[in-house]
């Protein structure tokens, strides 16, 4: 920890960890709010999903701004905005207060996540990109797990989890503000890839098809599947355990992939596993058995981790250095569209049932897996959407 650059890098990772925690810990508090505040399932799914509406503009503007004014000037205020949203959630538990709080958390997380991932890549290249994904996933996993434990066993179940989350955000921002003083330049990256020049087009065409399956996989596991078990296993621990299983699998597979230096076909495998996971969810119907719930969590968590890692590495390898923050933000916008999936499934279920929408998603994910597999196998870099699909 004596090396200032190492301290700075670790502090950036700490901001990503606390931001992931703030973004996702709400999942395990949904059953508590339903019980204590008598809010409906649809309302709470909407509160969970509205986070994405704040997140999307935050990701886009944060990435562009960080390319122009520097990473710290965007990441640190963004993390503080997320903590402000957490304070709103602490103080107001009616529908309006929860909607506003989650929206503000989304805006702050959007500013911090995309630019923070680009910051980690600036500091450590490919290793920084991979570690940013692992640490962010750790925050997504640990937040629901520990908030679920606090809601179950601590005093003040609707206050303690929010207080802890806000404190983590403030402390990590303070550490980063103290230690990350060295200016970072987007030019401090790995050499150009051997198979072609960096370009916005090639980076996005490789990365974006993987983006929807990142959080579409995660939220189906720890929101949709948890809700379908809610008639038999109530309380805050089930969503927390689901998030820990799902995102824990994502962390493990990203770590293995990092050590074994898996290539681009890992992204094909990720999309394929997403398709398999959706088929399993469809097979479980409206009342899946607990064993299938665990299998789905592990399968979809592995898909989440592989798609996130491969998409970020596509960007780190192919994106022009001066556009890295912008393109990372665009990629995360695609990933976070998945946060709206549980709400969409609730809306569609009365007319289509619990299984048909999942089978449609499975077909789309399988199509992406096959297209990417063919492109990688042919060792050719597509430069247009038509070429990508050919």
Q: What percent of the chain has pLDDT over 90?
A: 49
Check residue 390 and give its pLDDT.
44
Q: Above 80 in pLDDT, residue 259?
A: yes
Residue 168 confidence (pLDDT): 96
| Sequence-ordered list of residues with C-beta below 8 angstroms from that of 380, at least 6 positions apart, any chain | none
Mean pLDDT, range 337-344, rounded to an integer: 84
Q: What's the mean per-residue pLDDT of the chain?
A: 86
Rounded CA-CA distance 170/290 in Å is 38
Percent of the chain clearing pLDDT 70 (strictly above): 91
Angle in degrees, 0-180, between the axes of helices 290-318 and 237-260, rounded to the nearest 10: 40
pLDDT in tens, 206-231: 999 999 999 999 989 988 998 888 77
- 379 pLDDT tier (thresholds 50, 70, 90): low
pLDDT higher than 70, residue 343: yes
* pLDDT tens-digit series, residues 62-82: 988 998 888 999 999 999 999
For 363, the token pair is 């077909």
In this prediction, residue 72 carries a pLDDT of 92
Better-predicted residue by pLDDT, 132 or 52? 132
Q: Residues 375, 381, 386, 390: what is their CA dihedral angle, to the nearest 10 degrees?
A: -30
Burial annotation 97-122 (CB, 10 A radius, 16+ → b, else e): ebbbbbbbbbbbbbbbbbbbbbbbbb
φ/ψ (deg, to 5) at 70: 105, 155
Question: pLDDT tens-digit profile of 304-322?
Answer: 999 999 999 999 888 888 8
Q: Is 80 exceeded by the pLDDT of residue 127?
A: yes
Confidence of residue 381 (pLDDT cuts 50, 70, 90): low
Supply the pLDDT for residue 166: 96
Mean pLDDT for the stretch of residues 93-108: 92
Q: What pLDDT is attached to residue 126?
A: 83
For residues 222 and 282, the answer to whether their CB atoms sit within 8 Å is no
Topology of domain 4-177+197-389 in CATH is: Growth Hormone; Chain: A; (1.20.1250)
Where is average pLDDT lowest: 27-36, 267-276, 280-289, 357-366?
A: 27-36
pLDDT beyond 80 at 157: yes
Please identify which residue in the block is written with the tokens 């179950």. Answer: 152
The lowest-confidence range among 32-46, 63-77, 243-257, 273-287 is: 32-46
Looking at 261-355, list the stretches that DSSP marks H as alpha helix, in order from N- to C-terminal side: 265-284, 290-318, 324-336, 341-352
pLDDT beyond 80 at 350: yes
In whole angstroms, give the CA distance from residue 387 to residue 390. 5
């Amino acid at each position: 920890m004596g090396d200032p650059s190492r301290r700075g890098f670790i502090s950036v990772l700490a901001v990503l960890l606390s931001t992931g925690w703030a973004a996702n810990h709400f999942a395990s508090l949904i059953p508590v709010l339903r019980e204590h505040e008598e809010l409906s399932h649809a309302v709470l799914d909407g509160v969970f999903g509205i986070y994405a509406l704040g997140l999307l503009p935050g990701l886009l503007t944060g990435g562009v701004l960080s390319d122009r004014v520097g990473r710290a000037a965007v990441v640190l205020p963004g993390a503080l905005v997320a903590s402000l949203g957490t304070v709103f959630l602490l103080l107001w538990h009616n529908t309006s207060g929860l909607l506003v709080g989650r929206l503000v958390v989304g805006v702050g997380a959007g500013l911090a996540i995309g630019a923070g991932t680009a910051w980690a890549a600036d500091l450590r290249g490919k290793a920084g990109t991979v570690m940013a994904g692992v640490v962010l996933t750790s925050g997504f996993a640990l937040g629901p797990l520990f908030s679920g434990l606090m809601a179950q066993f601590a005093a003040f179940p609707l206050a303690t989890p929010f207080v802890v989350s806000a404190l983590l955000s403030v402390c990590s921002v303070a550490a980063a503000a103290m230690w990350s003083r060295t200016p970072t330049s987007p030019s401090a990256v790995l050499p150009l890839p051997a198979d072609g020049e960096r370009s916005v087009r090639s980076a996005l065409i490789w990365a974006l098809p993987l983006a929807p399956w990142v959080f579409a996989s995660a939220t189906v596991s720890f929101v949709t599947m948890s809700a379908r078990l809610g008639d038999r296993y109530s309380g805050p621990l089930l969503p927390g355990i689901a998030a820990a299983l799902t995102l824990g699998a994502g962390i493990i597979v990203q770590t293995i992939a990092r050590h074994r230096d898996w290539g681009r076909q890992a992204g094909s495998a990720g999309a394929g596993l997403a398709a398999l996971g959706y088929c399993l969810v469809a097979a479980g119907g409206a009342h899946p058995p607990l064993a299938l719930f665990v299998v789905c969590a592990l399968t979809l968590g592995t898909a989440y981790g592989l798609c996130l890692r491969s998409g970020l590495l596509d960007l780190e390898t192919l994106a022009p250095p001066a556009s890295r923050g912008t393109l990372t933000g665009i990629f995360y916008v695609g990933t976070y569209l998945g946060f709206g999936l549980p709400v969409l499934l609730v809306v569609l279920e009365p007319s289509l049932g619990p299984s048909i929408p999942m089978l449609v998603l499975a077909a789309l994910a399988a199509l992406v897996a096959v297209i990417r597999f063919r492109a990688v196998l042919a060792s050719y870099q597509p430069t247009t959407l038509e070429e990508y699909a050919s």
